[in-house]
Amino acid sequence: MFKKVAVIGSGTMGSGIAGQVANAGVEVWLLDLPSEGEDVNAIAAKGLERLKDPNQPGLMSEEAQARIHLGNIRDDLAVVAECDWIAEAVVERLDIKHQLYAQVAEHMRNDAILTSNTSTIPIKLLTESMSEQLKQRFAITHFFNPVRFMRLLELVRGEHTTDEVMQKLEEFCEQNLGKGVVRCADTPGFLANRVGVFAIQCALHEAFKMNMAPQVADSLFGRPMGIPKTGVFGLYDLIGIDLMSDVVKSLVSILPQKDAFHAVAEPIDIMTQMIANDQRGNKSGKGFYYQADSSADKQVLDFATSTYVDFERPNIDIALRAEKQGIKCLLDDDSDYGDYAWQVMSQTLCYAASLIPEVGNDPSAVDEAMKLGYNWISGPFEIIDEIGIDYFADRLRSENRAIPAIISQALASEQKSFYRVAETDYQRRLWQSGSNDLEWQTITRAPGVVRFNETRNTLKPVNSNESASWFDYQNIALVEFHSKANALDAQSMQILEDALNQVQSLGLKGLIVHNDAQHFSCGVNLGAVRAFIEAQDFDGLDKFLDHFQQTVHKMSHADFPVVAAPAGMSIGGGFEVVLHAQHVICHANSVMGLVESLVGVVPAGGGCKENLYRWIDKLDLDVSNIADASWKAFMNIGYGRTATSPQQARKLAMLRDSDPYLMNRDRLLAKAVEYINQQQTPIHPDRPELTMPGRDVYQAMGEWLDQGHNKGMFTPHDTVTGRAIASIVSGGDIDAGTVWTEQDLYDAERRAFLSLAQTEATYARISTLLDTGKNLRN
């Protein structure tokens, strides 16, 4: 495959592409214009610095950074002669691109591939001055920002692009860069931006039309509609109101005059004024939302007065129900909320449907683009299936609205859906021009690629409840969490325990914990914890914690292989599940850590215990002298440290060196199955008795906390939480040399958690997080 790559253009997209290539272990040159100052490569260097943003790191490790070489197109363009792939990501001006391609062509090899990251210039125009040979090796590779984290790559071929070039690009971008590759026709905006920006504009204009406050619209155009929780006004602030307006103008300039997009692209007066007032969103500090600093209360723009007023999180019952029951209950709701959701979603679904066959004959490609590029839970055609084609068409007719041709085709067919299960196959429908029916085709993926949210449709769970399910998948027990944010509660652990108990009796080979959600698990359900506290049911809370501990303990000591295959966030209790798997195969973008201290409690599902044991192993300590490991675990857990890559997780003793990672999350399940099929015997962790350092180390940790508090680093409750953590990893106020077992560590976690749960400060922190979304240390 590609051994060396050049990226020309070090802006947001170019630097992001270079960073991901380096993350994949491939050497890359990042080139831009030369600078006049001391550092001739200053522009490219700025692109590299952009990748080091701690809030959104484009690089996975220092080793990845070392693979990036900086240069400029005046002095270093000849390096493209060494490269297998040259990716252009310069300004969207055709004349500049043509000039660059001519310069690159003088140096690149006859077998090298050249691509552009454009989404606005047709490939026919990009290639018009190229040689016939170069046209064959040219394509569009349209990445999404941020490149490391966004899964979609839209791949567009030209009239002359060879199949071999397309295959090479698809394989490298899928396997090495971890992308979900969607092949697109060379139509304006391709797929994701055309539908995604339309949906955003629809949500924006309908909110203004209905005089709906930003926080209300965002509480609807989010999780209740199967869309990321950012919402429309929050997204405008995040991207930049001025930049998003430019995106809209760009699409307006390239879409046909009769395209429905123009109806939702008209400038809005108040937003034009906001841009003039430098209220451009997060980057300028003010947008639709405003927060003076991290400790200040959030405010929201009042459209009537153009002033900021106190933000109150809406508590809309139908929105909460839609998150659990699906979007149809929201669409059916006879209220302004339901009307807003219907207006936005119906227009978006009609628009997506109207693009078939212009953008291609495969509706599932549109669905895939929206899920991978915009993080929708379901694509437009999947949503139509969910609410029912008859329901959708009937409502359109009742409003005298046109029904898109592909909807009419599906209505006239025997099976009124765009997806179906045929025996053991999951199938999609394709448009057939001039036909009254649609062609069914089995969805197939590249070898090793499995999306369980598709495969699940062909399976029946062995056991299931609201929070989790488990399946017999290829003679292996597969446990899937599926609550909100995959937060863990008693029902989640009941399913995990049931699967563990039945593996051997059913003759299964092992167990995998995996799901296709955005995040593996964001921890224990704090709402359930708060309910225990409010009921003063600390015995019930202790029983829940004990059951959690014993269930994950079964994972690590089961007489069969147990694998966790996480992607996204695995934090808090979710990470404690991962820690107790005998083997972990994680995604390269996994975020892991024990973050309980941030809400004033301690990890009590075996997390403190496991982190202590892993530091003992990592530091190669004798079990009779573990003080150094106690300090390491104390710092990890006390600060609530998270690792944003597997490399960081290994350094923080969160992953074992033997736990592999994959660049493409769609390959996790197949690799986990492969591991269990090859691993005939379980691998139990060695958890010997420990000689605890005891009182002296415990007191030293307390003194360190007091010093931090005196310096203003910690709040009073931080020190209380820190001492609770210290009591677990050191043994607390006991004699040095006291021997503890693994169970003693479990018990210490529960004691500490229960003690903290009875404090007003912990209750306040949990309530603040649940009620406002803020993660405060009071």
Least confident of 347-356, 585-594, 675-684, 710-719: 675-684
Look up tokens 């062995």; give the residue. 462
User: Token pair for residue 374?
Assistant: 């915009």
Instruction: Check pLDDT > 50 for residue 301.
Output: yes
Averaged over 128-148, what is the pLDDT?
97
User: Token pair for residue 601?
Assistant: 């409690």
pLDDT band at 1 (very low <50, low <70, confident <90, very high): confident
Nearest to 610 by CA among 645, 639, 576, 570: 576
pLDDT band at 436 (very low <50, low <70, confident <90, very high): low
User: Token pair for residue 329?
Assistant: 């209950």
Nearest to 178 by CA among 666, 670, 673, 564: 666
Look up tokens 């021009």; give the residue. 433
Averaged over 414-422, what is the pLDDT?
92
Q: Between the CA atoms of 85, 90, 95 and 100, what dihedral angle is there, to the nearest 10 degrees?
A: -40
Residue 176 is classified by DSSP as I
Residue 173 is classified by DSSP as I
Contacts 24+ apart (CB under 8 A), 711-719: 714/777, 715/777, 715/778, 716/761, 717/600, 717/759, 717/761, 717/762, 717/765, 717/777, 717/778, 718/597, 718/777
DSSP characters for 226-269? TS-TT-HHHHHHHH-HHHHHHHHHHHHHHS-TT-GGGGG----H
Q: What is the mean pLDDT of the chain?
A: 95
What is the rounded CA–CA span in Å between residue 22 and residue 19? 5
What is the per-residue pLDDT for 415?
Answer: 87
The answer to whether the CB of 684 falls within 8 A of the CB of 582 is: yes
Instruction: Check pLDDT > 70 for residue 433.
Output: no
What is the per-residue pLDDT for 431?
Answer: 83
Instruction: Check pLDDT > 50 for residue 340.
Output: yes
What is the per-residue pLDDT for 457?
Answer: 94
pLDDT band at 234 (very low <50, low <70, confident <90, very high): very high
Q: What angle do CA 615, 616, 617 make, to 5 degrees?
A: 90
DSSP characters for 697-710? HHHHHHHHHHHHHH
What is the rounded CA–CA span in Å between residue 535 and residue 515? 33
The answer to whether the CB of 396 falls within 8 A of the CB of 418 is: no
The answer to whether the CB of 41 falls within 8 A of the CB of 70 is: yes
More confident residue, 436 or 616: 616
The answer to whether the CB of 600 falls within 8 A of the CB of 759 is: yes
What is the per-residue pLDDT for 399?
Answer: 97
Q: Residue 226, by phi and psi: left (phi above 0), alpha (psi -120 to 50) or beta?
A: left
What is the rounded CA–CA span in Å between residue 186 and residue 201? 23
What is the rounded CA–CA span in Å between residue 88 and residue 428? 34
What is the rounded CA–CA span in Å between residue 301 and residue 290? 8
Least confident of 139-143, 304-308, 628-632, 672-676: 304-308
Q: How far is CA 435 from CA 411, 418, 431, 432, 510, in A?
A: 13, 16, 8, 6, 48
User: Token pair for residue 734?
Assistant: 């006991």
Nearest to 738 by CA among 613, 634, 626, 629: 626
DSSP characters for 2-58? -SEEEEE--SHHHHHHHHHHHHTT-EEEEEE---SSS-TTHHHHHHHHHTT-TTS-S
How does pLDDT run across 379-401, given as a tens digit for each residue? 999 999 999 999 999 999 999 99
Q: Give all strands (DSSP E) within 117-236, no chain letters.
A: 138-143, 152-157, 180-184
Instruction: Check pLDDT > 60 for residue 576.
Output: yes
Nearest to 438 by CA among 460, 413, 463, 455: 413
What is the per-residue pLDDT for 778?
Answer: 39
Q: Which helix (H) or strand (E) holds 543?
A: helix 538-557
Q: Are strands 289-290 and 180-184 parallel, antiparallel or unpaired?
A: unpaired
Instruction: Check pLDDT > 70 for residue 777.
Output: no
Q: What angle do CA 463, 465, 467 make, to 5 degrees?
A: 120
**Percent of the residues in the chain that have a pLDDT greater than 90, as a whole number:** 93
Q: Exposed, middle or buried by CB within 10 Å (0-12, 13-18, 19+), for 451?
A: middle
Instruction: Check pLDDT > 50 for residue 732.
Output: yes
Instruction: Check pLDDT > 80 for residue 504.
Output: yes
pLDDT band at 437 (very low <50, low <70, confident <90, very high): low
pLDDT band at 181 (very low <50, low <70, confident <90, very high): very high
Averaged over 769-775, what is the pLDDT?
75
What is the rounded CA–CA span in Å between residue 185 and residue 400? 32
Q: Which helix (H) or strand (E) holds 463?
A: strand 463-464
What is the per-residue pLDDT for 25?
Answer: 97
Residues β-bridged to residue 476: 473
Averaged over 489-497, what is the pLDDT?
98
Continuous H helices in 658-774:
668-678, 695-710, 716-730, 742-757, 760-772
Beta-carbon contacts of residue 330 (< 8 Å; ≥ 6 apart): 220, 224, 225, 318, 319, 321, 322, 337, 338, 341
Averaged over 225-251, what is the pLDDT?
94
Averaged over 508-514, what is the pLDDT?
98
What is the per-residue pLDDT for 295?
Answer: 73
User: Token pair for residue 455?
Assistant: 């495969």
Instruction: Check pLDDT > 80 for residue 294.
Output: no
User: Token pair for residue 158?
Assistant: 């030209």
What is the per-residue pLDDT for 775?
Answer: 57
Nearest to 610 by CA among 582, 589, 588: 582
The answer to whether the CB of 649 falls within 8 A of the CB of 636 is: no
